[in-house]
Chain A
Amino acid sequence: MAILIKKAIIVNSKGMSKEPQDILIEKGVIAKIGKISDPDAKIIEANGKYLLPGLIDLHCHLREPGQEHKETIETGCRSAAKGGFTSVVCMPNTNPVIDNAKVVEGILKEVKRVGLVHVFPAGAITKGQKGEELSDMMELKEAGCLVLSDDGKSVQNSQLMRHALEYAKMAELLLMEHCEDATVSKGVINEGFYSTLLGLKGIPDIAETIIVARDIELARYLKTKIHFCHISSRRSIDLIRQAKAQGVQVTAEACPHYFSLTEAAVQDFDTNTKVNPPLRSKEDVEAIKLALKDGTLDCISTDHAPHASEEKELEFDAAPSGMIGFETALGLAVRELVEPKHITWSTLVEKMSMAPASILGLVNKGEIAEGKDADIVLVDPDKEWIFEKDHIVSKSKNSPFAGETLKGFIELTMCNGKVVYQA
């Protein structure tokens, strides 16, 4: 049955509709936009609320296979849908690692069974993410991977990374680098005033920038693309800005926690604030906001990283890094970026839908237009809401934002023309 969304303000990356529009959805596709009446269609009244193309997350952890106590594909997809995401890229640090076609096929089969949002598994760059031998990239491509990453660590060996970039270019796969020089990053929080004050081992920004700089040089030399995951520091942004100006094909993402929190948040030893890369200084936060505005950072990803409560209820040193992010991403982005008029709603759509779609090469996503996939999210832009721990649908609850007031309330998420979440 066709669905007709009545009177929605359409927000695309190029701009917003001046008047509320009606949107007819048929067979999973946006069939028509305008002033429409269709007596046979199921009506959804938007009442002037914002209709955005479904959000696309380039970086999340669904934990299945192997760590189903943290998250499953089903709970993860449900959480994504609640957060307005209709496509997500899940990282390969599962058990077994996503480094061969069998694992990819297993995930895609479960995604299909769950039938909520699109999931694009990232294959590992190296077998077992060990940083020793390249994965069978052509096989991963054939199985359905669009991107590769050894997320959780960088490919430390520069020669291996060079070959990975060369081979991935042939396989038409994008490499997404988690930038971290393991020899410099033996800590748990940002190195600086707070690591000194709290007596916790520091991770300096150079742990990130050394790999950013190396990879920019590799991409320049090899004339190929590279994508940087979850950029956290001002210096990395400077390097990326310069590389872009020189024509190096680099793209990069920010995560909501890196523009919503500073390192000061770790003061109370709440292990939900432990994340890798670590929360950084106020200057870094400002640089990230500016880089989102000026385009140095192309998109916003969540790095949704669920961990069970018993895993997080440990000493700060011993607790695993990461926080969940699907259900807070839009609310934080609106509160921190749109509400203070730092960026517009259209730019937000660019960062959370259009740019990730184009980075993945998904030509039918990222925009609300006739003929595009009916992956959409309906948002009440002005509604403030409290992010309650009890209402989290992810299997894990590890968020430092519990109890906070966020802005921009997701009323409905539709994927492939099917309602997958309704508030």
Chain B
Amino acid sequence: MIGWKYGDLLELSDLSREDIESVLETAKAFKEVSTRDIKKVPALRGKTVVMLFSEPSTRTRLSFELAAKRLSADTLNVTVSSSSLQKGETLLDMAKNIEAMNVDMIIVRHKSAGVPQILARELKPGVINAGDGCRSHPTQALLDLFTIQERLGRIDGLKVGIIGDILHSRVARSNIYGLIKMGAKVTLCGPSTLIPPEIERQGVDITYKLDEVVADADVLMCLRLQKERQEEKYLPSIREYVKVFGLTKEKIKNAKPDVLIMHPGPVNRGIELSAELADGANSVILEQVTNGVAVRMAILYLLFGKKEKVS
């Protein structure tokens, strides 16, 4: 791909609009590969991709693994304890050990924000952020953008509502950047305790009224609500959350008839999203999963296409 200049994907805000368009364009081609009888191309033959996950994740890990395998790369899974401190091994030691085994790409998920940055700074192999703490989840945002683009034919000018626990959501943070960069208008909606301070400086609107965001949205993106938020005193009760912010058929009756309902998964059915909506005609949740593989193939392909690391 002409013009692609990165060896790492650390956060979405490292990418320009043109970069994002390149990814979406490349992903379109790779989506076709996954529909073939033989779902494999030789692009990354002989390359080793390590998945370093410190948090439980089924779909993201699976999605990356499939993406790498369909490009003919060898994949390895490493599960690390949530803090390297627990093993008495520093983060850097661990990363240097992996590097010493001559791997080509490290896909990292970690509960602490900034870990992909720290690794990329110190290591020769490329680094892909598969989610770091509450900070960033660039491939999720890219697959969301791909899904919107594919379904609605554009992103520019669309109205997107992101609903729920914005404070703890890396998906929201990456999507906010990506959507705005691609020309969408973003409104956040959630309990005041779960809206992070000064987020409006990133160019979003905020409302606490679900009706307002539902009314003119082209896309409604629901976020997973962790049940611990009640114990952590952010919320009076899950019951009240469901009542006020849980998306149901009833609550979207004034929405545009073809509004897209999205969710990064896994869905807490009956909490942020009713089962009826999750499985309904407006839901593109499973398409997001399908597109995830294509987008991650595109990312791997583009990053490997760039010979030298920039970061």
A-side interface residues toward B, CB under 8 Å? 191-193, 195-202, 204, 268-269, 310, 313-318
- Provide the residues of chain B in CB contact with A200, threshold 8 Å: 113-114, 133-135
CB pair B85–A318 under 8 Å, yes or no, is yes
A268 to B91, CA, bound (A): 16
Binds A, one of B68-76, B97-105, B192-200, B257-265: B192-200
Q: Residue B247 at the A interface, CB < 8 A?
A: no
CB pair A196–B196 under 8 Å, yes or no, is yes
CB pair A315–B196 under 8 Å, yes or no, is no
Residue of A with least CB distance to B86: A318
Out of B83, B121, B136, B198, name the residue touching A315 (CB < 8 Å): B83
A314 to B115, CA, bound (A): 9
28 A-B contact pairs sorted by A residue (CB < 8 Å)? A191-B197, A192-B197, A193-B197, A196-B196, A196-B197, A198-B114, A199-B135, A199-B170, A199-B173, A200-B114, A200-B133, A200-B134, A269-B114, A269-B118, A310-B90, A313-B90, A313-B91, A313-B92, A314-B83, A314-B84, A314-B85, A314-B91, A315-B91, A315-B110, A315-B112, A315-B114, A315-B115, A318-B83
A314 to B94, CA, bound (A): 11
How close is A318's CB to chain B, nearest CB, in angstroms? Answer: 5
CB pair A269–B117 under 8 Å, yes or no, is yes
> 1/0 per residue B162-190: CB within 8 Å of A?
00000000100100000000000000000
Sample of 6 more A-B contacts, CB < 8 Å, known A191-B197, A199-B132, A269-B118: A199-B135, A314-B91, A315-B91, A315-B112, A316-B113, A318-B85
Out of B117, B135, B198, name the residue touching A268 (CB < 8 Å): B117
- Provide the residues of chain A in CB contact with B239, threshold 8 Å: none
CB pair B112–A196 under 8 Å, yes or no, is no
Out of A192, A198, A201, A313, name the residue touching B198 (CB < 8 Å): A192
A196 to B118, CA, bound (A): 19
How close is B246's CB to chain A, nearest CB, in angstroms? Answer: 25
A196 to B169, CA, bound (A): 10
How close is A421's CB to chain B, nearest CB, in angstroms? Answer: 33
B-side interface residues toward A, CB under 8 Å? 83-85, 90-92, 110-115, 117-118, 121, 132-136, 170, 173, 196-199, 201-202
A191 to B198, CA, bound (A): 9
How close is A414's CB to chain B, nearest CB, in angstroms? Answer: 40
A407 to B175, CA, bound (A): 44
CB pair B113–A198 under 8 Å, yes or no, is yes
How close is B99's CB to chain A, nearest CB, in angstroms? Answer: 15
How close is B295's CB to chain A, nearest CB, in angstroms? Answer: 21
Residue of A with least CB distance to B113: A199
A211 to B97, CA, bound (A): 45
- Provide the residues of chain A in CB contact with B201, threshold 8 Å: 193
Out of A193, A197, A268, A315, name the residue touching B84 (CB < 8 Å): A315
Residue of B with least CB distance to A204: B197
Residue of B with least CB distance to A190: B197
From A193, A202, A268, A318, name the one whose CB has the most chain B CB atoms within 10 angstroms. A318
- Provide the residues of chain A in CB contact with B114, threshold 8 Å: 198, 200, 269, 315-316
A200 to B196, CA, bound (A): 11
How close is A182's CB to chain B, nearest CB, in angstroms? Answer: 15
- Provide the residues of chain B in CB contact with A268, threshold 8 Å: 117, 121
- Provide the residues of chain B in CB contact with A318, threshold 8 Å: 83-85, 112
A82 to B108, CA, bound (A): 42
CB pair A314–B90 under 8 Å, yes or no, is yes
How close is B105's CB to chain A, nearest CB, in angstroms? Answer: 20
From A191, A192, A196, A268, name the one whose CB has the most chain B CB atoms within 10 angstroms. A196
CB pair B112–A317 under 8 Å, yes or no, is yes
Out of A195, A313, A315, A317, name the residue touching B197 (CB < 8 Å): A195
A301 to B132, CA, bound (A): 36
| With known contacts A191-B197, A192-B198, A198–B135 Cβ distance under 8 A | yes
A199 to B84, CA, bound (A): 20
A313 to B92, CA, bound (A): 7
CB pair A317–B113 under 8 Å, yes or no, is yes
A193 to B202, CA, bound (A): 9
A193 to B117, CA, bound (A): 19
| With known contacts A310-B90, A315-B83, A317-B113, A199–B199 Cβ distance under 8 A | no
How close is B148's CB to chain A, nearest CB, in angstroms? Answer: 23
How close is B122's CB to chain A, nearest CB, in angstroms? Answer: 9
- Provide the residues of chain B in CB contact with A202, threshold 8 Å: 197
A198 to B199, CA, bound (A): 11
A195 to B115, CA, bound (A): 15
A375 to B83, CA, bound (A): 46
CB pair A199–B85 under 8 Å, yes or no, is no
A317 to B54, CA, bound (A): 14
- Provide the residues of chain A in CB contact with B170, threshold 8 Å: 199
A310 to B96, CA, bound (A): 14
From A198, A200, A310, A315, name the one whose CB has the most chain B CB atoms within 10 angstroms. A315
- Provide the residues of chain A in CB contact with B202, threshold 8 Å: 196-197
Residue of A with least CB distance to B232: A186
